[in-house]
Structure 1
Amino acid sequence: MQHLSILPILLPLFSGALLLLPPFSKTLKRQRLLAVLSMLLQVVIGFALVASVQFDGVTQYILGDWRPPYGIVLVADPMSSVMVCVTNFLAFGALCYATGYHDRTGGYFYPLFMFQVMGINGAFLTGDVFNLFVFFEVLLIASYALLIHGGGKHKTQATTHYVILNLAGSSVFLFGLGILYGTLGTLNIADMAQKVGDLEGSVAILAKIGALLLMVVFGMKAALLPLHFWLPKTYSSASAPVAAIFAVMTKVGIYSILRIHGVVFGDDAGELANVAQSWLWPLALLTVVIGTIGALASPTLKLLTANLVVLSAGTLMVCAALGNEAATSAALYYMVHSTLVAGGMFLLADMIARQRGKAEDRFVVAKTMDNPIFLGILFAIAAIAVIGMPPFSGFLGKVMILQAAHSTAEQLWVWPILLLSSLGALIALSRAGTTLFWRHSSSKQASDEKQTIHLGEWLGIVLLLGASPLLALFGGPISELTIDAAVFLHDPSLSVDALLTSPLADGGF
């Protein structure tokens, strides 16, 4: 168990490398088998990591035995372990769906998918901001190829915009890291948090610039207004399993804001305390508004789902703006919920599009679907979960977020906007459901072939959308996990001092 913290990085890395070599590279069936088994093992490791953190406490994995703050450190704490578990579960569902036919539309799908998972897991586990940049680049390079996988005009155009924007973001990231390293002399997150409170004068101003540059980068990854414009087109253009795994990529940006700006530039940062708070409030609320408007204006189910991702990102940024333990706990629960449901909705949208013929997932009259009852049930589960109605996890998440707004001023801003956004999502999804399942042409062309659904496709959708009622059913134990994560992040004695003192550092590997 001592190497559990690094397995979510090493296993997809080695699996991806093996998939590039004979005999796996020659046969698609062998690639499928290895990829699915590897991903299933990663799901088990993800749950084991969560259990290990709960029973044994926070652990550090110190590579090369270079003690913090000098070496490369992986930190498995309540928040990072939960997000790794969610990522692996989401990836397993998306991978199962890809075994239907998406893996045949182009080469190297499975190796790229594994490298993508490796980059996301590494971003959640790293305890160093520079290595956060490294894992960002790993997941981005894999995402470039996955986005254009299968080819097509729309994918090429979306990929071009996505690549240019992220290359610019990577440059800004490096500038921010250089400034912070120059002012603090370290990029270890815990060490930065310990030193940032001592900065004064011009040095503090330089560090503030670096912090705001990182906020720009993280805001772009999280689809924070006005840096959200790339997401709807990019996600709606990607193939279904790719769009599903992309559902967690915005959460990497939000996680980074909670981790970096919450720990390093939190209440104990002296002159730099809560440096981005005044920006987060209006931008988070406006992101919720623009996501709601985008959902109402969406002409297809894929685009609607992509705009709902923007809406959920804005909701999570509201939690980051609130900045208290209750808000952080609510954010983690809502992150788990929104990630899995959004991934399931992307898969569902693809299946619906294939059964509606030339109309695809557009909100127009089309032929009757071959499996309308089962798909309708799945759509209803997804819609109720997204809207935030009981008895599914979206309701619990929204209630936790609303309760996290303690002051009257916070309630006056947060409650109306979040409740109206739920109403907007209800209207958009009601229109989508009635059009897709109730409005269809009476005649059926003889040339229409019945669409068969692969077992892996059913499994992928059921796993991801079935997670919502399970999250509600086990809401008590899961909320205890999220509370532990919030306490860890907001207590400097746990998130800063303990990671640099000898007992925990010497206990690393």
Structure 2
Amino acid sequence: MGNWIVVPIVLPAVMAALIVLAVRHDIVLQRIFSITATVALGAVAVALVIFADGNGPEMYALSDWPAPFGIVLVLDRLSAMMVLLTAVLGLGVVLFASSEWDKRGQHFHALFQFQLMGVNGAFLTGDVFNLFVFFEVLLIASYGLMLHGAGAERLKAGMQYVVINLTGSSLFLVGVGMMYAVTGTLNMADLAIQVPLVAEGDAALLRAGALILLLVFCVKAALVPVHFWLPGTYANAPAPVAALFAIMTKVGAYSILRVYSLGFGENAGDMAWLAQPYILPAAIVTLAVGMIGVLAAKRLNSLIAFSVIGSMGTLLISIALFTPESISAGLYYLLHSTFAGAALFLIGDLVASRRGQYGDRLNTAPVFHQSGLMAVLFFIAAIGMAGMPPLSGFIGKLLILDAARESDAAIWIWSVILVTSLMGIVGFGRAGSVLFWKSASAEGVIEVEGAQWPVLPIIAACGMLAALVALTVFAAPITDYMQGTAAQLFDTTDYIRAVLGDIPAAQLGQ
């Protein structure tokens, strides 16, 4: 693909600068530029996925500096899939925001494009330090988006979000420094070569650096016990921002998968699968905590935020098993949970905006405008997030349960996933009953000015639900792609040689 690999980073970066410099005073032109750029990003992402499906990993060296010394981007099946996921999600978000949300604060579309730049960079980079750089780009943009439109609660949650992530960034640098001090490299492909060669006396320092880095990724992925920032942040963020943030936790999960399958995979000697003993128990607890939060939530947005935590627990259980079958199942569930979470946040805002003074509180209120349509949309999104048939959440959980059968923790995994699925059904059922069914018996009708037929938000929400339907209908070819992706992750030879050139088999641990 050559230069096309860098387009998902350059395109939103250029568009963000153009929006700020040329059209910052015209909201209509901002919307046109932002939507056009996101559609173009989606087209490029489709081309990258098609290429990655038929070819091995390919490297792009910025300024033509060779690895491991220069900045490299690497396209493979996993990174191409994640870029496409970001583009599809981004298109739904920018359509929703272009109805009214982008007018509630300054520079929404520029920040949005910078966020896409950072997320795509994190997925495409082949270097741990540049992963930190792109983390900072997406986080700085997310700080502005989180506070978009202001408000006391949002400001409070935003400050917590900023402090937690600044702390994580500091720890990221500490971990990166410790790893570089021992291995002399931060290129992921080169780490796969250098980690097995580390002297015994330096192994403890390397392990400590790798575990600090793991802690940072767990913060991003909202894994217990460092998940506490997410409920308040997501519940109080503007709806399109919360929907976009559905990909943010996936950046943490992706980083765990990428760094610890390459640098600390099966060829890493004593540090093989370093992350597994820590992630699996934490992921099981994360799933339980998330679904307990769903049962206890008093606000719709809080319920959705806790369901995102629960879905991350399910995803990280599959990643923690570190088998080709579990990774394949987890990647399918990753797609599902991203679209399900985004759909719920968008639909939640449509519901809250129609309930007037009741907002998103789970209290009985009179019937509101388009309550029937909102009930249908919420029902579809809820059964998707809860993992009920026939939607993709059910398929994803079945694949994960099947992949866990041979695990020593199979009983725990099966029990927690099945019990928490029931808890999710009960929690979403309770919310739907209060918002829609019980409201039919209340007197009066809630009338809210401007909540009639907002076309773009409804299209965006329906688009996220359509993605769930597509994942269900095309489950067979999508799982085939995921199986190939998992196989590519476990056989790192092609990735390493794409980055470093023709490495002898002995250096690859074969």
> TM-score scaled by structure 1?
0.96
Distance 1:493 1:58 in 2: 10
SS in 1 for 2:4: coil
In the alignment, does 2:224 pair up with 1:241? no
Residue equivalent to 1:10: 10
Instruction: Tell me by how many angstroms 1:55 deviates.
Output: 2.4
Q: Give the deviation of 1:378 after TM superposition.
A: 1.1
Secondary structure of 2:5's aligned partner: coil
* Aligned-residue offset at 1:387: 1.5
> Shift of the alpha carbon at 1:10?
0.6
How far apart in 2 are the matches of 1:209 and 1:408? Answer: 27
Query: What amino acid is aligned across from residue 455 of structure 1 in structure 2?
Result: V
- CA apart distance, 1:403: 1.0
- State the match for 1:455 in structure 2: 455
State how 1:331-342 maps to structure 2 within 5 Å: 331-342=330-341
Provide, for residues 221-259 of structure 1, a one-character-per-residue CA deviation record: whole Å limited to 9, x for no partner.
000100000001000100010000000000000000001
Measure, in 2, the Cα distance between the counterparts of 1:147 and 1:464. Answer: 21
The alignment partner of 1:409 has SS state of coil
* Counterpart-to-counterpart distance in 2, 1:386 and 1:289: 15
Letter in 2 for 1:457: P
CA contact (8 A) 1:357 1:367 kept: no
Matched residue, 1:188: 187
Q: Which residue of 2 aligns with 1:506?
A: none
Say whether residues 1:485 and 2:485 are aligned partners.
Answer: yes
What is the aligned partner in structure 1 of residue 306 from structure 2? 307
**Larger deviation, residues 330-339 vs 488-497:** 488-497
**1:46-445 to 2 correspondence within 5 Å?**
46-407=45-406, 409-440=408-439, 442-444=442-444
What percent identity do the matched residue pairs reach?
Answer: 42
Q: Secondary structure at the match of 1:293?
A: helix
SS of aligned partner of 1:259:
helix
The answer for the alignment partner of 2:465 in structure 1 is: 465
Asked if the contact 2:369/2:447 (under 8 Å) is kept, the reply is: no
Number of equivalent positions: 502
Give distance in 1, aligned partners of 2:279 and 2:8.
31
Contact 1:127 1:189 in 2 (8 A): yes
Shift of 1:388: 1.3
Matched residue of 1:333: which SS?
helix
User: Could you tell me how far 1:266 is from its partner in structure 2?
Assistant: 1.4
Which amino acid is 2:397 matched to?
A: K
Contact 1:285 1:318 in 2 (8 A): yes
8 Å contact from structure 1 (residues 192, 264) kept in 2: yes
Quote the RMSD (CA, aligned, Å). Answer: 1.4
Shift of 1:409: 2.5
- Secondary structure of 1:247 counterpart: helix
Does the C-alpha gap of structure 1 residues 408 and 331 become closer, same or farther in structure 2, counting only changes over 3 Å? closer
Q: How much does 1:410 deviate? A: 2.7
Q: How far is the alpha carbon of 1:178 from its aligned partner?
A: 0.4
Local SS of the residue matching 1:3: helix
Deviates more, 1:42-51 or 1:236-245: 42-51
Q: Could you tell me how far apart the structure 1 residues matched to 2:461 and 2:455 are?
A: 10
| Matching of residue 21 in structure 1 with residue 21 in structure 2 | yes
Q: Which has the higher contact order (CA 8 A, sep 6+)?
A: 1
Deviation at 1:48, TM superposition (A): 1.3
Whole-angstrom distance in 2 between the partners of 1:351 and 1:275: 44
Alpha carbons 1:200, 1:271 under 8 Å: kept: no
Distance 1:113 1:447, change over 3 A: closer
TM-score (structure 2 length as normaliser): 0.96
Q: CA deviation at 1:54?
A: 1.1
C-alpha displacement of 1:176: 0.4
How far is 1:47 from its partner? 1.2
**Other structure's SS at 2:397 match:** helix
Moved more, 440-449 or 461-470: 440-449
- Relative to structure 1, the CA distance from residue 387 to residue 448 in structure 2 (aligned partners, 3 Å threshold; closer, same or farther) is closer
SS in 2 for 1:75: strand
Match of 1:507 in 2: none
CA distance in 1, matches of 2:60, 2:131: 15
Q: 1:447 to 1:220 in 2, by over 3 A?
A: closer
Which residue is equivalent to 2:506?
A: none
Matched position secondary structure for 2:73: strand
Deviation at 1:346, TM superposition (A): 0.3
Change in Cα spacing, 1:28 to 1:303, as seen in structure 2 (3 Å) is same
Relative to structure 2, which stretch is displaced further, 332-341 or 383-392? Answer: 383-392
Partners of 1:446 and 1:291 lie apart in 2 by 32
Gaps (5+ residues) in structure 1?
A: 504-509
Residue segments in structure 2 that go unaligned for 5+ positions in a row: 504-510
Letter in 1 for 2:465: L
Structure 1 residue 37, shift from structure 2 partner: 0.9
Q: Which amino acid aligns with 2:248?
A: M
Kindly tell me: are residues 408 and 264 of structure 1, through their superposed partners in 2, closer, same or farther at Cα, counting changes over 3 Å? closer
3-state DSSP of counterpart to 2:60:
strand
CA deviation after TM superposition for structure 1 residue 448, in Å = 4.8
Cα distance, 1:498 vs. partner? 4.2
Query: CA, structure 1 residues 447+281, in 2 after alignment: closer, same or farther (shift >3 Å)?
Result: closer
Q: Identify the range of structure 1 (85-94 vs 191-200) with the bigger mean alpha-carbon deviation.
A: 191-200
Alignment check: 8 A CA contact 1:340 1:465 kept: yes
Instruction: Give the Å deviation of 1:202.
Output: 2.2
Between the aligned partners of 2:44 and 2:476, the Cα distance in structure 1 is: 23
Tell me which amino acid in the other structure corresponds to 2:71. I
SS of the residue corresponding to residue 326 of structure 1 reads helix
Bigger drift between 59-68 and 307-316 goes to 59-68
Residue of structure 1 in register with 2:32 after alignment: 33
Residue pair 1:223, 1:229 contacting (<8 A) in 2 also: yes
- Indicate conservation of the 8 Å contact 2:221/2:248, yes or no: yes
Q: Secondary structure, in 3 states, of the residue corresponding to 1:60?
A: strand
Distance 1:429 1:61 in 2: 45
- 1:385-428 Cα offsets, whole Å, 9 max, x none, are 11112211101111111111132633211111011111110000
Q: Which residue of structure 1 lines up, in the alignment, with residue 508 of structure 2?
A: none
Structure 2 CA distance for partners of 1:450 and 1:97, relative to 1, 3 Å: closer
> 2:442 & 2:269 partners in 1: Cα distance?
69
